[in-house]
Structure 1
Amino acid sequence: MPWHPVFARLCAALALGTAALLAHAADKGAPPTAVKPVVDTYGDLRVSDPYRWLEATGDPAVRRWSAAQDRRTRAYLDKLPARKPMFDWLMKQAAASSSAYYGLHAAGGRLFALHNQPPRQQPMLVVMGQEADPAQARVVLDPNALNPKGTTAIDWFVPSPTGKLVAVSMSENGSEDGSLHVFDVATGREVDAVIPDVQYPTGGGSLAWREDGSGFWYTRYPGADAPAERRHFYQQVYEHRIGDDPAKDRYVLGRDFPRVAEIVLEARPGTPGVVVSVGNGDGGEFAHYLIGKDGGIRQVTRFEDKVVAAALGPDALYLVSHDGAPRGKVLKLGLDDLALAHAQVLVPESDGALQPGGESGAAGITVTRDALLLREIVGGPSRVAVYGLDGRPRGHLALPEVATVDELEAMDDGSLLVAVKTYLEPPRFVRFASAGGEGKPTLLRQTSPLSFGDVEVVREFATSRDGTRIPLNIVRRKGMKLDGRAPLLLNGYGGYNVSQVPRFLGAATRMWLDAGGVYVVANLRGGGEFGEDWHAQGALTHKQNVFDDFAAAAQYLVERGYTSHRRMAAIGGSNGGLLMGATLTQHPQLLRAVVSTVGIYDMLRVELDPNGAFNVSEFGSVKVPEQLAALYAYSPYHHVQDGARYPAVLMATGETDGRVNPMHSRKMIARLQAATGSGRPVLLSINTHAGHGMGSSLSIRVNQAADIYAFLFDQLGMAYRPGR
């Protein structure tokens, strides 16, 4: 493999002799951890891995080690005086909050939704009239009744166009390893054979019904009978007819798709077919196909075309293109001529970036019978631009200035239901009679026993290492003094084109604010807040920009007088966990405490996991010299330094996580415990009934919140005051 000699020389000191340095743990209270070095060679680079043995999840020695780590963490957390009162108060607030409705689907003149009703452990599937009155909601499927332990979750659901049937993917223990069930909406009875292997964290899962409700197209993986290297890859599209044996379902599409294909199917009543969007892993490349009512398949775009989304209208296909438009432009194709070269630029690029996809439409597009609605993001907050199907602008929906719109459902009667979320108010749905005019509140809203009337959100900007301005959303008590004494919690993500947007702060943040704290969300590069350019500046070989942005944000908050280094903590999960690992290894003195959940830390081994292969287009591959250089340069696990005074660390992971291998947390904790010279605790919490967070029960979520805030309060010297 070709290699860069200069980089190889820079890394040589880190790559050799590691085993001798790891003979004892610097965190004296940590369970003993065996050191069994394995040396890997990447071209001229030799890298020692002292804890490779901790990758073997099923090994009894690993299980014993994990149990010892969790016991130690529980002993630390459970003795904190604030921990139990925090749990009790947080659970009380959850129980006192009203029901929440989300994931809306309109079908057959009715509205389907997921209904979260604390203290029930899992959301239920309900149906109501299109007037969206929750008092009329009826339960179709209750996972809590199926499994009182609360470990059965709904991954996703799609009602048939008539609303008579509903297809539901369900999985266990937060695994997101879903099987498909079909229920009769009127009776709640299961009416068809179970179809396994339709959903997994690698490529997700999706389904689109035939317009007459006689069957559907769905995604399927090779399954348990396939070799391990294929089991959670090579997602394909199959067609099923209600009443048929799933083993005889007809293959439709996908045998020539990439190993890391991620397929999304979308069909709307009154449109002539099904749009098939195929992601080439997680990096933002897409191809699009159209399945006609006759079953014929036409390819519309290829990965290299830079078309990132497609939505079907009654007589045209609408595309979001990044070709020469990193914030997105909208193209229109007549269905009689699907040649991309003949597409009309319907809506040119604007100052707002089209939001990534969601329940309400492909990449922020919702097509109604007479309008095109575009969900845009401008640095964090959302807006909804309205256009005629001819591309003529009609203004914007009347929404709060600093809000998030992550659901927009076109109802059968022509109205729109729009989910509005802000930092200081619980989520609510607003109805627009059409694509314009004033919105009216619906009864489909959440209430909270908490008030944030004494809180304000201000937006300030830090300057990163290369001069880029980084937005900071600062949540603080009104009238606070900037004397550098407040405890501050800084949150970030910075990856996958995912934007950090306004969302209701909730009970844990109220508890933090009541103790004098400040909460800050940073809009880092790698996200989608300013479009594809903003994402690209924080991906692949530019990933270091994300960490520089976060460090600049922390330093700005100190210099501005919000806090001090000894009173500041940071929190992040998944890709945000990578951010936490890179921050604490690159800047050990920046923070007093770090909370990192389900994080990624060994960047040289990521792509070996099933979901890691999907991440190559975001992070890069060790097989490409330039990308290997970048991966190794920031890989947290490989840059832990013996004797460094690291902040206190709490990591959490779930044993059933199919998105990020729990081995990352095991290895990183072992290395930090061996190296830290600060005397501060380095803790690992491992839940055997949880995965990446999706599908976790209410009790698991509240317990983790109590753990996190009890840990932070203890490390930052904060006094717990029961919230209002």
Structure 2
Amino acid sequence: MKKRILSLVSAALLTGAGAPPSPPSDAADDPFVWLEDWTGPRAMQWVEAENKATVAAFRNDPRYAGYYSDALAIASAKDRIAMPMLVHGRIYNFWRDADHPQGIWRYTSEADYATDAPRWTTVLDLDALSKAEGRKWVWKGATILDPEERLVLVNLSDGGEDAVTLREFDLETGQFVKGGFDIPTSKQNVDWLDQDTLLIARDWGEGSMTKSGYPFVMKTLKRGAALSAAEEVYRGEASDQVGTYPIILTDGSGNRAAFLYRGVTFFGNETYLVTDGGVKRLPLPTKSNVQGMVDGQVLIQTSEAWTSGGMTVPAGALAAVPLKALQSGEVLKPHILFAPDARQSIDGVTATKGHVILAINDNVRGRVQVLTPKKVDGGAAGWTSRPVALPDNATISIASATDKSDTAYLSVAGFLAPTTLWAMDAADPKPVQVKAMPARFDATGLVVEQYEATSTDGTKIPYFIVHRKDMKKDGSTPTIMTAYGGFEVPMTPSYAAITGKLWLERGNSFVLANIRGGGEFGPAWHEAGLKTKRQIIYDDFAAVAQDIFARKLSSPRKFGIYGGSNGGLLMGVAFNQHPELWNGVVIQVPLLDMIRYEQIAAGASWVDEYGSVSVPEEKAFLETISPYANIRKGVKYPTPYIWTTTKDDRVGPQHARKFAARLKDYGIPYHFYEDTAGGHAGDADIEQGARLQAMQMVYFSQRLEEQ
């Protein structure tokens, strides 16, 4: 694949007296709508006052300094694994540490990378660039031109926003290209059509962005030409929930093709082939994605069943179709490469020069296969599959691969097993460990167990718990639990070094709940909680907590929960629906006003997941779950900690602000903090991450260890 982005995540009845209040139906009924003014003076004054109180509550705690120091030391440790990206016969890596808090982009040779102390050459220093230009540039990846892999478009964000500036960079000279592409800030999607031409969708002016703030007009932009001279290639619709995206595929056999996605809904694409005569829509299922190409075979991952040419590809599968068939318009006869069972899902697909590396989740445990195309009788394409022997009970991710060779790197991590990196030749898949991160916390005496809770409809919901082997099963152990529950995103075991150091080392426990809405078990696990069916996600989450209490692994007084983004919505609903189950709730960069979410930041892009207030049935359901609308006076809630970032242009800080303001209006205790940088990921620099982690752990220590 040509484009590579180099980047650095019981019953649910309302409790308490009385029914929930009628939620505001529009801005006129909302007393805190003024906090939706993203960076308005009044809103920012409110933020400043709230921050002052929260900083005093957490950073004056005697534990804060130690937590912050430990978190920063882990985040900036120089003996971390420098995760590789194979480019132009070199290993590239984006790196942050105490000396480079915003990061450097650097490279070394493949041979030197295999040593214990590689010699790195810096090609781009974001700290120096930021200082020179008076901006806080945040790395958002780079798009590389094939086949030479010399020219790249560097994606730079001011403070962490999704909107980026694009600048052409020469990897050989280590300099920005004088007179090269230099495209001003916008949410934009880009790829190289050739050395002198970009396929780009961006804000071209009025009528070129969707309601959710994404570009839907694709143009070609020639080297040296003004943006106004770009020529339109394709136009979606302003009503599209997402936008239009280009993707160029290449393979090790020299095949090359340009595709466009039109994101009609968040999960539904129209896929087009770019030809000399214009764009041609392809007969691919709407819930599918092109994942790469090898030996002229285009890889298609499905999220719905697809019948074509007498073949039916199940949902959640990986299939291949010939590029020539896509180009000629003949009836497609997909070849199924992998079809999951009920407890499996695809976690990653990458093409090498002659093979496909497939990472899957099998009952929330990582597995890897190498798939290889072959010729069978009659010349038709066939495939073989070989398993790759790697450590069990871990999450396995494809760290890097390229269509220029069959070399690949795989990362392996578990709750108590520090991340290791394995090198592999896909033509002879016998992986060898080449890097290992040192342990960041003392795991002596800790164990990982997997249990299942029974949800309200009888479905078994798996969860992991990390705890001391000698833990007393009397409910006295402080425990924190997280989950996500949306967008077909799986939550799998990982080595959370900071959580281990700041929480597990203190004798406490950690829980990961694999609730519905996520992708742990494929599309069906996700679709079980879409739109008006979403209450089952919240039931699953509560059921896991109740199962933990029934096993006396913890108790409500010692139990805290946290989650971000869609997981922040989960926390808000859990806060409202089951305040009796937790004594601490951390709500991170959240959606909380589900009546007005379509009007805030990129909210309109998520209607496919949540539903829309424009549909009466969906509006009625959103009114029952919207955390902002369902806070009630007179209910004993656990004091929550809500944090967000001003630079979040995806979800927006408005949700968190309004939720806190309503709590204050009702006389309900809370903590609120809004960091002024970092975007939706809170990733402006390593110090910000350490600060946010330390404040969160102070909160949990205050709420769970002292009670």
Give the TM-score normalised by the residue count of structure 1.
0.85
Identify which of 308, 315, 340 aligns with 1:350: 340
Residue identity matched to 2:675 = N
Instruction: Give distance in 2, aligned partners of 1:250 and 1:354.
Output: 40
Residue identity matched to 2:127 = N
Residue identity matched to 1:284 = F
Q: Does 1:494 align with 2:496?
A: no
Q: For residue 332 of structure 1, what is the aligned residue in structure 2?
A: 321
Do the aligned partners of residues 295 and 89 (structure 1) sit closer, same or farther apart at CA in structure 2, a change above 3 Å counting? farther
Residue identity matched to 1:425 = A
Residue identity matched to 1:185 = L
Unaligned runs of 5+ in 1: 1-11, 19-37, 42-46, 357-363, 720-724
Q: Secondary structure at the match of 1:699?
A: helix
Instruction: Give distance in 2, aligned partners of 1:231 and 1:548.
Output: 29
Instruction: Give distance in 1, aligned partners of 2:47 and 2:19.
Output: 30
Q: Does 1:618 align with 2:609?
A: yes
Deviation (angstroms), 1:667: 1.0
Do the aligned partners of residues 620 and 433 (structure 1) sit closer, same or farther apart at CA in structure 2, a change above 3 Å counting? same
Instruction: Give distance in 2, aligned partners of 1:550 and 1:466.
Output: 13
Quick check: 218-227 or 427-436, which moved more? Answer: 218-227
Deviations 1:53-111 (A, max 9, x none): 22223443222222111111112112212112221232233343524434x54332223
Quick check: 533-542 or 255-264, which moved more? Answer: 255-264
Q: For residue 377 of structure 2, what is the aligned residue in structure 1?
A: none
Identify which of 663, 673, 686 aligns with 1:698: 686
Instruction: Give distance in 2, aligned partners of 1:95 and 1:408.
Output: 20
Once the two structures are superposed, the pairs formed by residues 281-430 of structure 1 within 5 Å of their partners are 283-291=266-274, 297-301=279-283, 305-324=286-305, 325-337=314-326, 339=329, 341-351=331-341, 353-355=344-346, 364-389=348-373, 390-411=381-402, 412-430=404-422
Deviations 1:632-672 (A, max 9, x none): 11111111110110001111111111111211111111222
Q: For residue 251 of structure 1, what is the aligned residue in structure 2?
A: 232
Identify which of 115, 119, 126 aligns with 1:136: 119
Do the aligned partners of residues 573 and 348 (structure 1) sit closer, same or farther apart at CA in structure 2, a change above 3 Å counting? closer
Instruction: Give distance in 2, aligned partners of 1:700 and 1:283.
Output: 30
Q: For residue 30 of structure 1, what is the aligned residue in structure 2?
A: none
Q: For residue 543 of structure 1, what is the aligned residue in structure 2?
A: 534
Instruction: Give distance in 2, aligned partners of 1:676 and 1:154.
Output: 41
Do the aligned partners of residues 337 and 152 (structure 1) sit closer, same or farther apart at CA in structure 2, a change above 3 Å counting? closer
Do the aligned partners of residues 388 and 523 (structure 1) sit closer, same or farther apart at CA in structure 2, a change above 3 Å counting? same
Do the aligned partners of residues 290 and 86 (structure 1) sit closer, same or farther apart at CA in structure 2, a change above 3 Å counting? same
Q: Does 1:688 align with 2:667?
A: no
Q: Secondary structure at the match of 1:136?
A: coil
Residue identity matched to 1:265 = I
Q: For residue 160 of structure 2, what is the aligned residue in structure 1?
A: 174
Identify which of 183, 191, 196 aligns with 2:183: 196
Kept after mapping to 1: 8 A contact 2:85/2:399? no
Deviation (angstroms), 1:139: 1.4
Identify which of 651, 656, 659 aligns with 2:650: 659
Instruction: Give distance in 2, aligned partners of 1:695 and 1:169.
Output: 15
Pairs aligned (count): 663
Q: For residue 172 of structure 2, what is the aligned residue in structure 1?
A: 186
Q: Secondary structure at the match of 2:49?
A: helix
Residue identity matched to 2:266 = G
Q: Does 1:121 align with 2:110?
A: no
Unaligned runs of 5+ in 2: 1-17, 306-313, 374-380
Q: For residue 662 of structure 2, what is the aligned residue in structure 1?
A: 671
Q: For residue 474 of structure 1, what is the aligned residue in structure 2?
A: 465
Do the aligned partners of residues 119 and 497 (structure 1) sit closer, same or farther apart at CA in structure 2, a change above 3 Å counting? farther
Deviation (angstroms), 1:453: 4.2
Deviation (angstroms), 1:130: 3.4
Residue identity matched to 1:289 = Y
Instruction: Give distance in 2, aligned partners of 1:118 and 1:417.
Output: 26
Deviations 1:266-312 (A, max 9, x none): 433544333535263663212222335x585332245x543333422
Instruction: Give distance in 2, aligned partners of 1:160 and 1:555.
Output: 52
Do the aligned partners of residues 78 and 368 (structure 1) sit closer, same or farther apart at CA in structure 2, a change above 3 Å counting? closer
Q: For residue 261 of structure 2, what is the aligned residue in structure 1?
A: 278
Deviation (angstroms), 1:408: 4.6
Identify which of 220, 226, 240 aligns with 1:239: 220
Do the aligned partners of residues 230 and 591 (structure 1) sit closer, same or farther apart at CA in structure 2, a change above 3 Å counting? closer
Deviation (angstroms), 1:243: 4.5
Q: Secondary structure at the match of 1:377?
A: strand
Residue identity matched to 2:339 = E
Deviation (angstroms), 1:574: 0.6
Kept after mapping to 2: 8 A contact 1:462/1:471? yes
Q: Does 1:92 align with 2:92?
A: no
Kept after mapping to 2: 8 A contact 1:540/1:617? yes
Kept after mapping to 1: 8 A contact 2:212/2:604? no
CA RMSD of aligned residues (A): 2.9
Deviation (angstroms), 1:185: 1.2
Do the aligned partners of residues 537 and 96 (structure 1) sit closer, same or farther apart at CA in structure 2, a change above 3 Å counting? same
Q: For residue 138 of structure 2, what is the aligned residue in structure 1?
A: 153
Kept after mapping to 2: 8 A contact 1:219/1:235? no
Instruction: Give distance in 2, aligned partners of 1:153 and 1:340.
Output: 45
Kept after mapping to 2: 8 A contact 1:97/1:448? no
Instruction: Give distance in 1, aligned partners of 2:268 and 2:370.
Output: 26
Quick check: 572-581 or 158-167, which moved more? Answer: 158-167
Quick check: 430-439 or 281-290, which moved more? Answer: 281-290
Do the aligned partners of residues 454 and 613 (structure 1) sit closer, same or farther apart at CA in structure 2, a change above 3 Å counting? same
Q: Secondary structure at the match of 1:253?
A: strand
Do the aligned partners of residues 571 and 381 (structure 1) sit closer, same or farther apart at CA in structure 2, a change above 3 Å counting? same
Q: Secondary structure at the match of 1:521?
A: strand
Q: Secondary structure at the match of 1:263?
A: strand
Residue identity matched to 1:141 = L
Q: For residue 7 of structure 1, what is the aligned residue in structure 2?
A: none
Kept after mapping to 1: 8 A contact 2:168/2:182? no
Q: Does 1:72 align with 2:53?
A: yes
Do the aligned partners of residues 209 and 675 (structure 1) sit closer, same or farther apart at CA in structure 2, a change above 3 Å counting? same
Q: Secondary structure at the match of 1:589?
A: helix
Q: For residue 512 of structure 1, what is the aligned residue in structure 2?
A: 503
Deviations 1:199-252 (A, max 9, x none): 63xxx6342463xxx235343312567788769333343334445445434433
% same residue: 26
Residue identity matched to 1:122 = Q
Kept after mapping to 2: 8 A contact 1:642/1:674? no
Instruction: Give distance in 2, aligned partners of 1:525 and 1:340.
Output: 38
Deviation (angstroms), 1:198: 6.8
Q: Does 1:709 align with 2:697?
A: yes
Kept after mapping to 2: 8 A contact 1:123/1:143? yes
Q: Secondary structure at the match of 2:101?
A: coil
